[in-house]
Amino acid sequence: MVEIDGMKLVQTRSILHYIADKHHLFGKDLKERTLIDMYVEGTLDLLELIIMHPFLKPDDQQKEVVNMAQKAIIRYFPVFEKVLRDHGQRFLVGNQLSLADVILLQTILALEEKIPNILSAFPHLQEFTVKISNIPTIKKFLEPGSKKKPPPDDIYVRTVYNIFMP
């Protein structure tokens, strides 16, 4: 839940869209916005697997890493690699930073924590990762001391269970 502009916003997508809209990260018109939307939705499907991973039974966790890697490499990364290759621009949509770039970077970095060479077959995504990481605001967020949260550990898992499943 995010308190912003006198509202208490809930639901991840509602919050993301509100902030993206407000801060000009959602394209210049409806068509660009929809392209960004499609890219974000696909990426979030992949990110969801990462988010749920710590809550799987230990026996299932290793299998799921394989599943995540397959989905990333076969279904999602080829789409974004092609987009970047085809237009040769730095950002996914409309030659400017958008929510699609931010969410994709987040997802790539989270996947690299589990599968370090996940981008080995995707040169344009490798370049993308470097370029977007170097944007000043994002670079700052990636440095120690920012509000970015560390990878999930056992304490995190236990805390979530205690709060949501007492």
Partner 1 sequence: MLEAHHLLQEEKLESLGMARKPKLHYFNGRGRMESIRWLLAAAGVEFEEELFETREEFEKRIQEGILMYEQVPMVEIDGMNLVETGAILRYLAAKYDLYGRNLQEQAWIDMYVEGLKDLSDMIMFFPLSLPGEKKMNLEYILERATTRFFPVYEKALRDHEQDFLVGDQLSWADTQLLEVILMAEECKPSVLAGFPLLQEFKARISYIPTIRKFLQPGSQRKPPLDEGSIETVKNIFKFERGMFLKNMGTIVAEY
Q: Applying CB under 8 A, does 112 fall inside the site for partner 1?
A: no
Say which DSSP state 57 is in: -
What is d(CA 141, CA 163) in angstroms, rounded to the nearest whole number? Answer: 27
Tokens 């991840």 correspond to: 12
Q: Is residue 11 left, alpha or beta, with left meaning phi > 0 and alpha meaning psi from -120 to 50? A: left
User: Which bin fits 114, alpha (ψ -120 to 50), beta or left (φ > 0)?
Assistant: alpha
User: Which CB atom, from 41 or from 140, has the smaller least distance to partner 1?
Assistant: 41
Q: Which of 25, 27, 42, 111 binds partner 1 (CB under 8 A)?
A: 42
Give min distance, CB of 28 to partner 1, in A: 14
Decide: is 127 part of the binding site for partner 1 (CB under 8 A). Answer: no
Residues in binding contact with partner 1, number by CB under 8 A:
31
Single out the segment in contact with partner 1 by CB under 8 A; choices: 14-22, 90-98, 119-127, 142-150.
14-22
CA distances, 161 to each of 23, 53, 56, 65, 164 (Å): 34, 14, 12, 22, 5
Cβ proximity to partner 1, 51 vs 121, nearer residue: 51
Out of 58, 117, 149, 165, name the contact with partner 1 by CB under 8 A.
Answer: 165
Side chain identity at 143, as an amino acid letter? E
Residues in touch with partner 1 (CB under 8 A): 5, 7, 9-14, 17-18, 21-22, 30-31, 33-34, 37-38, 40-42, 45, 48, 52, 55, 75-76, 79, 160, 164-165
